[in-house]
Structure 1
Amino acid sequence: MSFKPAPWPRKLRSTHWYSGNSRDTIYHRGWLKNQGYPSDLFDGRPIIGILNTWSELTPCNGHLRELAEKVKAGIWEAGGFPVEVPVFSASENTFRPTAMMFRNLAAMSIEEQMRGQPIDGAVLLVGCDKTTPSLMMAAASTDIPSIVVTGGPMLNGHFRGEQIGSGTALWRFSEAVKAGEMTQEDFLEAEQAMSRSSGTCNTMGTASSMASMAEALGMALSGNAAIPAVDSRRRVMAQLSGRRIVQMVKDDLKPSDIMTKQAFENAIRTNAAIGGSTNAVIHLLAIAGRVGVDLTLDDWDRCGRDIPTIVNLMPSGKYLMEEFFYAGGLPVVLKRLAESGHLHKDALTVSGEGIWEEVKDVVNYNEDVILPADKALTQSGGIVVLKGNLAPNGAVLKPSAASPHLLKHRGRAVVFEDIDDYKAKINDDALDIDETCIMVLKNCGPKGYPGMAEVGNMGLPPKVLKKGITDMVRISDARMSGTAYGTVILHTSPEAAAKGPLAIVRNGDFIEVDVEARKMHLEISDEEMAVRLAEWQPIHNHPESGYAWLHQQHVLGADTGADFDFLKGCRGNEVGKEAH
């Protein structure tokens, strides 16, 4: 399938600001000319906004100003007029209480920047976890022609002859310190080796997963996801994307043309094949809600169930993003999915061609990094959706990062009412817990934390770690980092703070988890559950003003993407009334 472009020339959005000689036009055009732009730049050529999430407090995106210059070069070459626009940048590694709380704020503010300013197309310059979905949500809401350019992953980490991944090594070394297997001094030395160049996490964490999702959805040029941040080919990709967005504007190729139900199904299957982050579930549900595609948790389970995880990257496997790129990157994975009948080949991409045309000739250069299907890390790698009386609306688990022996388990609940309760108790040797128990964390969902922090991969108690145990079943309404691992059940919905059944789990209750049967069951009667829910009282005070109040009042459940109720749907890019 290829895109049939709209007739050209036609009236662009930017002409509402800059075309003609009225007082208002001269007002808009004259002020922009103070930057030294000659008059012939306002001759009807496409104005392209480079929406840049660069910030010195978003270290993953710290190199995006340099990358923006390459995007500008491509736009100039193609006959466009580039304008760089700084936008809200939510960094997972600096924002408190959690960057997820601000994803919707970023999406809302960027949507209004796109709609309210004279741009005909947008380059979404993204990197750290929440910047990718927030800009894609904004683009979906406005439906302005847009292309994603990611900053790319950092170089591999190395520590004492061992290859280490940012995030994944952090969780592992932290547990090793608690178990007495690693000194604090060694941990501090390893810190220097984990993040040694510009770029996002070098594991298949959420940033690399969302870069892969953008490419699988067709919103980025083929090969964009895996190029390392400091590789010269990343800058080439940026320049080519700058060229391409100009033609997309001329062709009127919009996000709604690309992000169809078939495209989302492609992305879900891709996430299974790469061992992608559970965070992709929430972000894709939110993006789909903005573009008007009916996507549900059931689609995640249906599309991912039979997909083997063939990308051998941390946290599920042993390699890092550099090796993935050298092996051929995401195009090889997409080709494999297509050849096995698991890809909609005609799904449109920003190139104007179907996705199969983009990947049909690629080669796998390392079959230990991108594995044959018969050597997959797991034969059923898709995100599992568990339901039952403990999660009526669903909960998710990443099987490629879980321990096989725990995928069917019955255990006694050890309950933490919130993250502070967990921190107060977990290191106490008097805590009544062993490796057969199930750790339950409440009040860490979209409303409860607030913002749904990445705390679901609770560290194990030291007295269990010292026995050589490295995994237990953990259940929460929180998220976890895409770099994390373990038998961790997340996004339990409805969440505890919204009076979901998770709220009434008590110490000593027994819970049964059966991943094969897609079941998570709290072993109490319906009558007992009804009594407990009737007696339930929230444990947190609600904010009375500011953004935290807005978030608390309007955020939806994780099962639908945790977007704001008033932001779902595409509102378009119609220019508002002029103020002058």
Structure 2
Amino acid sequence: MTRKSPAELRSARWFGPADLRSFGHRSRAMQMGYAPEEWQGRPVIAILNTWSDLQPCHSHFKTRVEDVKRGILMAGGFPVELPALSVSESFVKPTTMLYRNMLAMETEELLRSHPVDGAVLMGGCDKTTPGLLLGATSMDIPAIYVPAGPMLRGNFGGKTLGSGSDAWKYWDELRAGTITQEDWLGVEAGIARSPGTCMTMGTASTMTAIAEAVGWVLPGGSSIPAPDAGHIRMCSESGRRAVEMVWEDLRPSRFQTRAAFLNAIVVAMAMGCSTNAIIHLIAMARRAGQEIGLDDFEAASRRVPVIGNVRPSGTAYLMEDFFYAGGIRALMDRIKEHLDLSCVTVNGRTLGENIAGARCFNDDVIRTVDNPIYGEGSLAVLKGNLAPDGCVIKPAAMDQRFLKHRGPAVVFDDYPSMKKAVEDESWDITPDHVMVLRNAGPLGGPGMPEWGMLPMPRALLKQGHRDMLRISDARMSGTSYGACVLHVAPESFVGGPLALLRDGDIVSLDVGARRIDIEVSAEELAARRAAWTPPERRYERGYGYMFSRHIQQANLGCDFDFLRSDFGAPVAEPAIY
């Protein structure tokens, strides 16, 4: 393998020339106390750190960044920390999805505009993984991803709690009157008790696993719990590896092949992934110039079963159990006949080499393909006259009686009116009705918020019901569950068929046939469309203005149209005068 020389380093353009501009770069570095020996002839490694005081999933990054720096220094690199947008799922409103592309743009421009040769990307909370990887893909310098890792198990009353999933569960029990307010406060205090992302198979763990499957993460790194000492060692090792990647010129374009993204889809399906995987993975692949779409997810869903027995698709276990059982390497080893093992990863080795020798230590946590927790993949892609461009449902995490269902629609145009209705104990609604929320998609939300797990009506909870068919153009948390049809495309805000649905229309769902339809004639739908009036845009200034004019639909990954890999010529390196 040909290795770069120090003179070929990108940072040498800033620090090397004997001119006035480079004098300024060197003198300002010395102003911060750095000696020329610290950067001369050494790769400068940017550490994009998404830590903040309002990002609980990344609270340990404040110190973990020092471990990354230690690794970079050990390998002869020069570490520089660049703070990046934290996009906290817990606190950012109206939705972090509104800002995923902002983080992607920030990542790309931070790397382009600074004198850096490679990068370590520190993320983990839901949108930080795709945001960082999208930006690093477009910049295409050597980069490695450090996942935050899942938090420890929650606990209440001697029972194990899973973040997100048990919040929804116990909230419904509180509304149904089966637990007390004191119980609820106990759940609140015990459900999240360490740094790290949700320890269920939510979007965070889904996306870090996908990042590893594509090749961005050191082997096994996506499974390590945040508080584990192994996580510290992984951070340091990632720093060391980032330096070597620069010398080897191992850029994302060298490992982000179509086969790598197909591997990621297979891994996601086997893990019981979040529905959000579809949107983010499509965006990531298309940004890398690889044509990945809903049909690829559907093909994998039909042949790859769910073998990761982790909530909410699984019955009992959490990510900590998954790690102890062998983690992502063990899971990939069990589905290796569905993977392209020749794909290269950030450590310079193939996926096959990385999982060689992997062992499973608990066959109930990581099942075999002959004993899955669900016979098909985690997600199913549906199409029909209600969603001509597709939508998604998570069959493994719902009441199986709704896999084939037909019922009258109850339609809401906004979240507040829906929320008011579901709290009305006198509401005359049955579990056969189909609750519909529209104007919650990429433009309508705005930002496609996680409203798709519509609350169960209190009246039905009191009767003992815990699931019903719900449809929206929104997303839902990866920790959510239930018979929820999501990502309906095109969304209602732009005139998709969901905008034409009326109370009482019969909706039919057949997951086995992958169909979702409204039983209304084409002539009637055409008449409704002619009478439909487009709503006003939500934003008229700033980032929201740009978002509302350039966001693509869910089936295209919700990326900005001007950030596609086929949009214009590649950006040249910045001029240094």
Matched residue, 2:485: 489
Residue 208 of structure 2 corresponds to which residue in structure 1?
Answer: 211
Q: Which residue is 1:245 aligned to?
A: 242
Distance 1:392 1:188 in 2: 44
Aligned partner of 2:512 in structure 1 is: 516
Q: Distance in 1 between matches of 2:386 and 2:422?
A: 23
Deviation digits for residues 456-500 of structure 1 (CA, Å, limit 9, x no counterpart): 001110111112111111110000000011111100000000110
User: CA–CA distance in 1 between the matches of 2:37 and 2:88?
Assistant: 39
Q: Which amino acid aligns with 2:372?
A: A
Out of 125-134 and 36-45, give the one that drifted further: 36-45
For residue 86 of structure 2, what is the aligned residue in structure 1? 89
Question: Which residue of 1 is the match for residue 20 of structure 2?
Answer: 23
Shift of 1:542: 3.1
- Given that 1:306 and 1:382 are in contact with CA atoms closer than 8 Å, whether structure 2 keeps it comes out as no
Letter in structure 1 aligned against 2:134: M
* SS at 2:222 equivalent: coil
- Secondary structure of 1:305's match? helix
Candidates 442, 449, 452, aligned match of 2:445: 449
Q: 1:383 aligns with which of 379, 383, 399?
A: 379
Q: Say whether 1:468 aligns with 2:464.
A: yes
CA shift digits 1:420-465 (9 cap, x unpaired)? 2211212123434210111111000000010000010011101111
What is the deviation of 1:574? Answer: 3.7
Secondary structure of the equivalent of 1:158? strand
User: For 2:169 and 2:527, how far apart are their aligned partners in 1?
Assistant: 41
- Determine the structure 1 residue equivalent to 2:524: 528
Residue 332 (structure 1) aligned to one of 330, 333, 355: 330
The equivalent of 1:308 in structure 2 is 305
Q: Which blocks of at least 5 consecutive residues in structure 1 are unaligned?
A: none
CA distance in 2, matches of 1:267, 1:568: 20
Residues 281-296 of structure 1 mapped to structure 2, 5 A cutoff: 281-296=278-293
Q: Aligned to 2:395, which of 386, 389, 399?
A: 399
Instruction: Output the amino acid matched with 2:142.
Output: P
Given that residues 427 and 459 in structure 2 are in contact (C-alpha distance below 8 angstroms), is that contact kept between their aligned partners in structure 1?
Answer: no
Matching residue within 559, 563, 566 for 2:562: 566
Letter paired with 1:52: N
User: Which of 538, 547, 554 is residue 551 of structure 1 equivalent to?
Assistant: 547
Q: Is the 8 A contact 2:334 2:368 kept in 1?
A: no
Residue 185 of structure 1 deviates from its aligned partner by 2.1
Contact 1:406 1:472 in 2 (8 A): yes
**8 Å CA contact 2:195, 2:226 repeated in 1:** yes
> Counterpart of 2:573?
575
Residue 116 of structure 1: CA displacement? 0.7
After TM superposition, the structure 1 stretch with the greater mean CA deviation from structure 2, 368-377 or 54-63, is: 368-377
**1:8, CA displacement in angstroms?**
4.4
Q: How does 1:62-73 map to 2 (within 5 A)?
A: 62-73=59-70
Offset of residue 258 of structure 1: 1.1
Of the three residues 11, 30, 52, the one matched with 1:14 is: 11
CA contact (8 A) 2:6 2:12 kept: no
Shift, 1:88, TM fit: 1.2
1: CA distance between counterparts of 2:484 and 2:539?
30
Aligned to 1:269: 266
Q: Deviations over 1:271-325 (max 9, x none)?
A: 1111011111111111112111111111111123211111111111110111111
State the distance in 1 between where 2:527 and 2:288 align. Answer: 41
Q: What is the letter of the counterpart of residue 421 of structure 1?
A: S
- Asked if 2 retains the 8 angstrom alpha-carbon contact of 1:305 and 1:382, the reply is no
* Shift >4 Å, 4+ stretches: 4-10, 570-573
1:149 and 2:146 equivalent?
yes
Q: Deviations over 1:88-136 (max 9, x none)?
A: 1111110010111011111112211111111110100012111111000
C-alpha spacing 1:554/1:573, structure 2 compared with 1 (3 Å): closer
Q: Rate the CA distance shift 1:201–1:507 in 2: closer, same or farther, 3 A.
A: same
Deviation of the 1:375 alpha carbon: 2.4
SS at match of 1:331: helix
Q: Give the Cα–Cα distance (whole angstroms) in 2 for the partners of residues 260 and 473 of structure 1.
A: 37
Residue 41 (str. 1) matches residue 38 (str. 2): yes
Residue aligning to 2:50: 53
Secondary structure of 1:225's counterpart equals helix
How far apart, in 2, do the equivalents of 1:46 and 1:573 lie? 22
Amino acid at match of 1:566: F
Residues 573 and 537 of structure 1: CA distance in aligned 2, closer, same or farther (over 3 Å): closer
Q: Could you tell me the TM-score, scaled by structure 1's length?
A: 0.97
SS of the residue aligned with 1:396? strand
Unaligned runs of 5+ in 2: none
Query: In 1, Cα distance between the equivalents of 2:443 and 2:3?
Result: 44
Q: How far does residue 65 in structure 1 lie from its aligned partner after superposition?
A: 1.8
Deviation at 1:7, TM superposition (A): 5.1
Of 482, 498, 504, the residue aligned with 2:500 is 504
Kindly indicate whether the alpha-carbon contact (under 8 Å) linking 1:444 and 1:450 is maintained by their aligned counterparts in 2.
yes
1:409/1:514 contact within 8 Å kept: yes
Q: 1:10 to 1:383 in 2, by over 3 A?
A: farther
One-letter amino acid of the structure 2 residue matched with residue 507 of structure 1: D
Range that drifts further, 321-330 or 36-45: 36-45
What is the CA RMSD across the aligned residues, in angstroms?
Answer: 1.3
State the shift of 1:572 in Å: 5.3
Aligned length: 574
Helix, strand or coil: the match of 2:549? helix
Q: Which residue of 2 aligns with 1:132?
A: 129
Q: Cα 1:421–1:539, aligned 2, differ >3 Å: closer, same or farther?
A: farther
Identity %: 47
Contact 2:426–2:459, Cα closer than 8 Å, also in 1: no
Distance 1:144 1:242 in 2: 15
1:301/1:382 contact within 8 Å kept: no
Of the structure 1 ranges 497-506 and 561-570, higher mean CA displacement relative to structure 2 is found in: 561-570
1:72 deviates by: 0.7
Deviation (angstroms), 1:5: 4.9
Corresponding residue for residue 114 of structure 1: 111
Match of 1:173 among 170, 175, 180: 170
In structure 1, what is the Cα distance between the partners aligned to 2:537 and 2:252? 40
Aligned-partner residue type, residue 456 of structure 1? G
How far did residue 152 of structure 1 move?
0.7
Task: Find the aligned partners of 2:550 and 2:456 in 1 and give their Cα distance.
Answer: 34
Q: Deviations over 1:527-572 (max 9, x none)?
A: 1111111111234553221221211111100000001111111875
Do the aligned partners of 1:144 and 1:573 also contact (CA within 8 Å) in 2?
A: no
